[in-house]
């Protein structure tokens, strides 16, 4: 819901594509600057407490933005401080949750749990896109910002009251938790860097640009928030399908499946670039979502299986740092290209980028070996039938 909320908040205050890109890129820059220290904090202190604080912070950001839009402030730049704080809150949240999952989930259940998480995220994206598009269309951007703010508040409350088994204990050691230890792992385990770069590449050519191009396409085509919500919902349905297929052990060769889905997904970009029927683009976007859901589930499980628990948040922060770099690159490229050459040109660039990422996926031999172990282990567990006791 955040992407829809912020995009149409900017448009509601008379903002342009360049202003939307600037506000969202500023949030990503802060995210990049604070991710690595946040990972070190999460490996040192209570991951649960950090996650709760970050959700309360993001609640305040969204509710403040809702007030600004509702009161129709005279400048779109009033949204910039809240966007920056939102980026900081996200930087706190993501590394802490990566490590937290590994604390409370048995190692042999990581693929199943991460697949379920990806599916739930997909459901959230579907509902968020549908509800967000309806609220913007019916009641204005302030309403969706308000609802989005309360969803973060709900997450904070759930986290605060979540009971956990004894897992990660905040360190009492006076030796500093060093960020560079995370980089040392990347040197020892080349598959980690390969996996991170693939995620970043996908975000740079798909998810990042769509945060700019999607709302612009919807606005220029006359479809408005409902059309952008439909695109987001179809991508989310793909995320659910990819995650569920992975959860039940149907994806035997994850990287090959992801590469095929990426190539098929190019059709969505090309249809919109050639001004074809909007509905013909949806299967391609569903395939891109499926690639995201399948790879996201197996990638998170592989990290949590292969990396020691006391290092997970630092590795997770590095992963998010590389991903956020891809997001920033994609959003900046989309902002510049859309403002100078038009939306259709950007769709073509995204299509070419998706093919390149698919090719890189097939060539990542070190990653394929490690991901294969995780997939094979999960497939064996998925075929085990527990005995029925009388």
pLDDT of residue 384: 46
In this predicted structure, the answer to whether residue 68 has a pLDDT above a threshold of 50 is yes
125 vs 260, higher pLDDT? 260
3-state secondary structure of 111: helix
- Work out the percent of the chain whose per-residue pLDDT is above 70: 85
In this predicted structure, the answer to whether residue 182 has a pLDDT above a threshold of 70 is no
Contacts of 167 (CB under 8 A, 6+ apart): 100, 103, 104, 309
Other residues' Cβ atoms within 10 Å of the Cβ of residue 107: 12
336 vs 95, higher pLDDT? 336
pLDDT single digits (tens) 263-291: 999 999 999 999 888 889 999 999 999 99
CB 182 within 8 A of CB 82: no
pLDDT of residue 354: 93
CB 315 within 8 A of CB 185: yes
Contacts of 197 (CB under 8 A, 6+ apart): 322, 360
Rounded to the nearest 10 degrees, the angle between the axes of helix 278-306 and helix 365-382 is: 90
Nearest one of 226, 238, 224, 225 to 268, comparing CA atoms = 238
- Work out the percent of the chain whose per-residue pLDDT is above 90: 21
The third-level CATH classification (topology) of the domain covering 2-162+180-381 is Growth Hormone; Chain: A; (1.20.1250)
Residue 144: pLDDT band with limits 50, 70, 90: confident
Q: 350: which 2 tokens?
A: 């995204």
DSSP at 171: -
In this predicted structure, the answer to whether residue 35 has a pLDDT above a threshold of 60 is yes
Tell me the domain boundaries of the chain. 2-162+180-381
| Of 76-90, 116-130, 167-181, 302-316, the least confident | 167-181
pLDDT of residue 130: 67
- Structure-derived torsion over alpha carbons of residues 179, 180, 183, 185, reported in degrees to the nearest 10: -90
3-state secondary structure of 351: helix
DSSP at 77: G
In this predicted structure, the answer to whether residue 170 has a pLDDT above a threshold of 60 is no
Rounded to the nearest 10 degrees, the angle between the axes of helix 110-139 and helix 141-160 is: 150
Residue 173: pLDDT band with limits 50, 70, 90: very low
pLDDT of residue 8: 74
Highest mean pLDDT among 34-48, 51-65, 150-164, 309-323: 51-65
Whole-number Å distance between alpha carbons of 237 and 42:
32
169 vs 147, higher pLDDT? 147
Q: 62: which 2 tokens?
A: 């969204």
3-state secondary structure of 71: coil
Name the pTM for this structure. Answer: 0.70
> Cα dihedral sign for 70, 74, 76, 79?
negative
In this predicted structure, the answer to whether residue 355 has a pLDDT above a threshold of 60 is yes
pLDDT of residue 1: 66
Half-sphere exposure of 100 (CA within 13 A, CB side): 21
Gyration radius from the chain CA atoms: 20
């Amino acid at each position: 819901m955040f992407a829809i909320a912020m995009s149409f908040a900017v448009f509601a205050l008379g903002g342009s594509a360049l202003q939307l890109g600037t506000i969202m890129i500023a949030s990503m820059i802060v995210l990049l600057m604070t991710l690595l220290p946040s990972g070190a904090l999460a490996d040192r202190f209570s991951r649960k407490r950090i996650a709760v604080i970050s959700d309360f912070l993001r609640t305040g950001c969204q509710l403040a933005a809702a007030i600004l839009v509702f009161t129709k402030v005279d400048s779109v730049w009033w949204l910039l401080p809240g966007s920056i704080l939102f980026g900081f809150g996200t930087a706190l949240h993501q590394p802490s949750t990566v490590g937290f999952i590994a604390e409370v989930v048995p190692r042999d259940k990581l693929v199943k749990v991460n697949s379920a998480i990806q599916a739930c995220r997909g459901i959230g994206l579907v509902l968020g896109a549908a509800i967000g598009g309806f609220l913007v269309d019916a009641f204005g951007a302030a309403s969706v910002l308000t609802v989005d703010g309360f969803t973060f508040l709900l997450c904070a409350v759930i986290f605060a009251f979540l009971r956990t088994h004894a897992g990660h204990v905040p360190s009492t050691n006076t030796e500093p938790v060093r960020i560079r230890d995370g980089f040392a792992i990347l040197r020892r385990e080349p598959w980690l860097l390969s996996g991170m770069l693939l995620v970043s590449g996908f975000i740079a050519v798909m998810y990042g640009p769509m945060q700019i191009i999607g709302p612009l396409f919807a606005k220029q085509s006359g479809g408005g928030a409902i059309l952008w919500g439909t695109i987001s919902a179809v991508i989310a349905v793909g995320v659910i399908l990819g995650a569920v297929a992975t959860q039940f052990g149907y994806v035997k060769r994850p990287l090959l499946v992801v590469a095929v889905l990426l190539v098929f997904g190019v059709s969505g970009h090309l249809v919109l670039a050639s001004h074809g029927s909007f509905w013909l683009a949806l299967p391609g976007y569903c395939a891109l979502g499926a690639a995201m859901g399948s790879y996201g589930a197996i990638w998170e499980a592989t990290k949590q299986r292969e990396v020691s628990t006391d290092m997970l948040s630092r590795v997770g922060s590095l992963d998010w740092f590389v991903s956020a770099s891809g997001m920033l690159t994609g959003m900046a490229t989309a902002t510049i290209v859309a403002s100078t050459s038009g939306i259709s040109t950007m769709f073509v660039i995204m299509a070419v980028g998706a093919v390149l990422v698919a090719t890189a996926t097939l060539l990542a031999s070190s990653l394929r070996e490690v991901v294969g172990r995780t997939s094979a282990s999960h497939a064996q567990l998925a075929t085990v039938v527990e005995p029925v006791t009388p």
